[in-house]
Amino acid sequence: MQYVKKYFTEGLIQFTILLSLVGVRVDVDTYLNGYFSPLLETDEGPSSAYIQTPFHSSRDTWEGHSLHPKCPDLEQYFTARRLLTEVRALGTPRFPTQLSAWLVHSVSRDSDSGAAGAAPDPQSGGSGGPDRGDSAGPPPSPACELAEEDGELQRQDAGQSPEPAAGEEGEAEERAAAPELQGAPQEALAHSSTLDRENVLSSASSLSTLAQQPLLAAGVEHPWRELLSLSNLEDMEIEDPQQIPDAISRNVSLHDAMLSGDRDGRASWTGPGGSLEPAHATHPALLGALNLTAELFPLVENSSRDGAALSSLSGFLDEAVFEQINLMGLGLDGLGGLDSRILDELDSDSGLSLDSSFRSPGSPSASEASSLSHCEDEGAVGYSTDSDSLSGDAAAGASWSLKERRPQGTGRSPAQLAQGVLHDHTYSSPPPQRGSGPRGQQAGRGPLGAVKKEGGEEDELSRDERRARALDLPLSVQDIVNMPVEEFLELLSGFQLSDAQVALIRDIRRRGKNKVAAQNCRRRKLDAIAGLEGEVERLRRHRDRLLRDRAQHSKSLGCLKQRLGQLYRDVFRRLRDEQGRPVSPGRYALQCHSDGSVLLVPHRPGAQRRRPDRARKDKQH
DNA sequence: AATTCTTGTCATGCG
DNA sequence: GACGCATGACAAGAA
């Protein structure tokens, strides 16, 4: 009896793990918590030890598990996390290799030491585990997981699983180290089972009848083994996915099913016209099969409690994948950094805190430029394009004008002003090359700028410079533009200027300031574009990686669905009605409910969505 | 001659 | 309200 019980519960656990691996969350925490001894019972390897891994807890959040940071189980927990990450990175579960080796390792540790939570011993439980070194090491940091995943993907892309040979070897060594865990006769396993009392009671009675049917149990063993042996999943194909969902009912969790189920072992089920009665007494074979499905399908059911059929698991996967895409790639590491960077740029003062690499060789340092708005009295700002053309006659003119009419108290000599003219705080304009003619693409001028032509210096003056000369302004254009506002206003008030002169001076200053601002603005725009291009490239790589992951997961899911369909058919093949006739899966479907009851209802569209009470009415009829 | 690029300028909004 | 900065839009000139 223990053997049968353990057999099915182990199968349930394995199936739950499989669902977790393909992205389906199954709530089996309470049920599994410390109840089962992860003994190896099948020829496929140490599959039963999978229950030691809190897969679904670690799927959604690494912090979701209730382990205390100092709990000795934490290392085991992190090992499970890491292995889960690797298995997912593989896309297709490869239990016989790394995971199985670790699981057997865990079994060995638990069964040998009996000290729950003891630190993993690298030397115990075999010596060839492929991940032994890693599992004994410190838990991987979250930052390392992505790199790990990438590495795994790259290895798989290259057509090789991570250390396959080592995995097989490790498995063999594990078996050698723990002979009682593999290939043992079922009777021996039943004797060696360490299922505790609660375990037996939890799902007991539904299996008590089944235990009396060794034939059925042995018959069902095959589909379970078939379902759970994933080493050759890649070779499988989906036969009839549409057949699966009809057997699925809703709103049943494994925990509920097992704890609130029929403790008497009754599996209530119904058939048309009452031809199918509760069979725990009269049809043990049918009951056994129903109990099997009652334990199996709540898991599947729980995974699709939104009402979606199991056949929509692929859609499930798509949603999960794209949820992860939305949450992690685009949301966090992608746009977050981008936003902060752009905001930094947007918040930069006057755009003068940009990368110093854009400074022209003759320009001051970046710090000097960044302090422009506060230190304008230290020199001129920007206005490089016209300064060179002015430093000749215009600068001289400004000098003599200042000499003659400069009011007292400005604190600036013409030499200081002239020195300020040579400063270049722009980012895109190279230092002026006097007399070198047009400066490449920058030879272009605005509609009101000076047109550089071969000829006298008069032609090189900008419109403002010419106007300044025409109006005999006492200040150079550079002075007008770069002078601090206080000093500028002081000069304006000190000179006896006409309205036209004042207006021109203000326009010159405004245009000069705006020109520098436009240059800075364009530079920032280019920087932002360059940054976005890099970000797009990074996100594209991330998307490609996620698409590869999705393809692999879809492949695994297809294999799993094919296995499940096979199991479904096997279950129905063993079902018999009162007259001993086979029950056609085309006419009936299995419904599992939260109270543990299993109903066999006529198969028609929408039958799986019927309420249990309605189904019971059908049974009474 | 048409297109593209660069630059200056204006208008506008914001602090 | 003046001032400076940022930026979109436009135009002119050069390549």
A588 forms bridges with which residues in the sheet? A602
Amino acid identity of A455?
A: G
The CA–C1' separation of A427 and C8, in angstroms, is 20
The CA–C1' separation of A183 and B9, in angstroms, is 87
Question: Do residues A537 and A529 make contact, with C-beta atoms less than 8 angstroms apart?
Answer: no
Q: What are phi and psi of A576, to 5 degrees?
A: -135, 145
* pLDDT score for A544: 97
The CA–C1' separation of A508 and B13, in angstroms, is 21
The CA–C1' separation of A429 and C9, in angstroms, is 22
The CA–C1' separation of A342 and B2, in angstroms, is 37
Amino acid identity of A69?
A: P
Residues in chain A: 621
A598 forms bridges with which residues in the sheet? A592
The CA–C1' separation of A347 and B7, in angstroms, is 25
Measuring from the CA of residue A510 to each C1', which nucleotide is nearest? C4
State which protein residues have CB closer than 7 Å to strand C: A 346, 348-352, 372-373, 381, 438, 440-441, 443-447, 451-453, 485, 488-489, 506, 509-510, 513-514, 516-518, 520-521, 524-525
Q: What are phi and psi of A478, to 5 degrees?
A: -60, -40
The CA–C1' separation of A340 and B8, in angstroms, is 32
State which protein residues have CB closer than 7 Å to strand B: A 385-386, 428-429, 441-442, 444-449, 462-464, 507, 510-512, 514-515, 518-519, 522
Tens of pLDDT, residue by residue over A552-564, are 999 999 999 999 8
Measuring from the CA of residue A346 to each C1', which nucleotide is nearest? C6
Question: Do residues A192 and A2 make contact, with C-beta atoms less than 8 angstroms apart?
Answer: no
Measuring from the CA of residue A508 to each C1', which nucleotide is nearest? B9
Nearest to A259 by CA among A199, A195, A300, A210: A199
pTM exceeding 0.85: no
A249, two tokens? 């009912």
Closest protein residue to B10 (Cα–C1'): A511
The CA–C1' separation of A587 and C1, in angstroms, is 86
Measuring from the CA of residue A511 to each C1', which nucleotide is nearest? B9
Closest protein residue to C7 (Cα–C1'): A521
The CA–C1' separation of A488 and B9, in angstroms, is 22
Measuring from the CA of residue A522 to each C1', which nucleotide is nearest? C7
Closest protein residue to C15 (Cα–C1'): A441
The CA–C1' separation of A481 and C15, in angstroms, is 30
Which residue ranges in chain A fall short of pLDDT 70?
1-460, 604-621
Nearest to A389 by CA among A491, A476, A471: A476
Closest protein residue to C3 (Cα–C1'): A485
Nearest to A101 by CA among A206, A174, A198: A174
Closest protein residue to B15 (Cα–C1'): A349
Closest protein residue to C11 (Cα–C1'): A447
The CA–C1' separation of A511 and B10, in angstroms, is 9
Question: Do residues A571 and A286 make contact, with C-beta atoms less than 8 angstroms apart?
Answer: no
The CA–C1' separation of A139 and C15, in angstroms, is 61
Measuring from the CA of residue A381 to each C1', which nucleotide is nearest? C4
The CA–C1' separation of A365 and B15, in angstroms, is 27
The DSSP line for A32-91 is HTTT------BTTBSGGGGGGS-HHHHHH-TT-S---TT-THHHHHHHHHHHHHHHHHHS
Instruction: Mark the nucleotides of strand C covered by protein, meaning any atom under 7 Å from a CB.
Output: 3-9, 11-15
A498, two tokens? 């006409």
The CA–C1' separation of A483 and B4, in angstroms, is 36
Measuring from the CA of residue A426 to each C1', which nucleotide is nearest? B7
The CA–C1' separation of A513 and C3, in angstroms, is 11
Measuring from the CA of residue A376 to each C1', which nucleotide is nearest? C4
Alpha helices per DSSP H over A461-575? 463-470, 477-482, 485-494, 499-574
Cβ burial of A419 (10 Å; 0-12, 13-18, 19+) is: middle
Measuring from the CA of residue A446 to each C1', which nucleotide is nearest? B8
* pLDDT score for A562: 95
Question: Do residues A267 and A294 make contact, with C-beta atoms less than 8 angstroms apart?
Answer: yes
Report which secondary-structure segment, H or E, holds A599.
strand A598-602
Measuring from the CA of residue A519 to each C1', which nucleotide is nearest? B7
The DSSP line for A318-368 is HHHHHHHIIIIIIIIIIHHHHHHHHHHHHHSGGGTTS-GGGS-TTS--HHH
Instruction: Mark the nucleotides of strand B covered by protein, meaning any atom under 7 Å from a CB.
Output: 5-12
The DSSP line for A364-389 is --HHHHHTGGG-GGGS--S-HHHHHH
Closest protein residue to C4 (Cα–C1'): A513
The CA–C1' separation of A490 and C2, in angstroms, is 15
* pLDDT score for A20: 53
The CA–C1' separation of A403 and B6, in angstroms, is 38
Question: Do residues A385 and A460 make contact, with C-beta atoms less than 8 angstroms apart?
Answer: no
Measuring from the CA of residue A488 to each C1', which nucleotide is nearest? C3
Question: Do residues A163 and A130 make contact, with C-beta atoms less than 8 angstroms apart?
Answer: yes
